[in-house]
Structure 1
Amino acid sequence: MSEFQLDARLARDSDLVTVLGLCQLRILHDSRWPWLMLVPQRAGKTEVFELQPLDQALLTFETNLVAEALKKVTNARKINIGALGNVVSQLHVHVVARNEGDPNWPGPIWGHGSATAYDENAKKAFLKTLSEALSS
């Protein structure tokens, strides 16, 4: 059995926030949307159905946990959850807070404009608030 390795593109485009039971929780390098990503730490997985049933349940639990915390800290109108994998096939789940008036609302975030880097202080404050929401 091979060992889990994070795809280089996912590593390049995000930072590790924490490790949950199954997944790495990562924040994308794009401040236009509060945009998180869950990456199950299982080697060679590209689809949810390839996970063992217990891992599927844990992925659902962790996705819901992160989505609820993100909605709480952002007061988002909508939380978008998606596992596309058309460009990076390694299994990963995007969790994005959306509001009317954000870039490209109500359209998709993918392929819209260029990423905007976070102000480091704003990013730290957001992650602190998110961490508190995840632990409550």
Structure 2
Amino acid sequence: MSEFELHPRLQQDCRVVGDFALSRLLLMNDSQYPWFILVPRRSDIMEIHQLAEADRQQLLSESCLLAEKLFELYQPDKLNIAAIGNLVPQLHVHHVARYRTDKAWPAPIWGKFAPAPYQEQDAQREIARLRAVLNIG
């Protein structure tokens, strides 16, 4: 097994928020939605079932904690959680806060509109907010 490396597409499209015990937490650089991604720091894993049982449980715990904090911070109408990976084969789990007023509602956001990158100060503010409530860095 090789050492963990973040997929180049995730490196290009996201900013690092911090690390949980298992996963790296990323902020998708699209200000249209509060959109975060968990990436288990395990190499050569494409699907959840490929993780060891303890890692599966850890990923679920981290995902649930992230979901709870996203509801607290953003108060969305719905939280979309998905492990799709059609373009990026590395296992990653999207967490997207959705609102009835967002421009893609009620359709999925994937490929719907071109990304609207964060201004630097706005990205740093979102990262700091999440780091504070999750106690990660």
TM-score range (shorter-chain normalised) is over 0.9
Secondary structure of 1:76's match?
A: coil
Deviations 1:65-98 (A, max 9, x none): 1111111111111111000011111100000000
User: In structure 2, what is the equivalent of residue 35 of structure 1?
Assistant: 35
8 Å contact kept, 1:72–1:133: no
Asked if 1:12 is matched to 2:8, the reply is no
Paired letter, 1:46: M
CA RMSD of aligned residues (A): 1.0
Secondary structure of 2:79's match?
A: strand
User: In structure 2, what is the equivalent of residue 71 of structure 1?
Assistant: 71
Query: Which protein, 1 or 2, shows the higher relative CO under an 8 Å CA cutoff with sep ≥ 6?
Result: 2
Aligned pair count?
Answer: 135
User: In structure 2, what is the equivalent of residue 130 of structure 1?
Assistant: 130
For residues 121 and 76 of structure 1, the distance between their equivalents in structure 2, rounded to whole angstroms, comes to 22
Where does structure 1 differ by over 6 angstroms across 4 or more consecutive aligned residues? none
Structure 1 unmatched runs, 5+: none
For residues 17 and 126 of structure 2, the distance between their equivalents in structure 1, rounded to whole angstroms, comes to 11
TM-score for both structures, normalised by structure 1: 0.95
User: In structure 2, what is the equivalent of residue 89 of structure 1?
Assistant: 89
Structure 2 unmatched runs, 5+: none
Identity of aligned residues (%): 40
Deviations 1:34-92 (A, max 9, x none): 00000001000000000000000000000111111111111111111000011111100
Secondary structure of 1:38's match?
A: strand
Deviations 1:80-130 (A, max 9, x none): 100001111110000000011102101100011100011222222222222
For residues 56 and 79 of structure 1, the distance between their equivalents in structure 2, rounded to whole angstroms, comes to 20
Paired letter, 2:131: S
User: In structure 2, what is the equivalent of residue 59 of structure 1?
Assistant: 59
TM-score for both structures, normalised by structure 2: 0.94
For residues 90 and 61 of structure 1, the distance between their equivalents in structure 2, rounded to whole angstroms, comes to 19
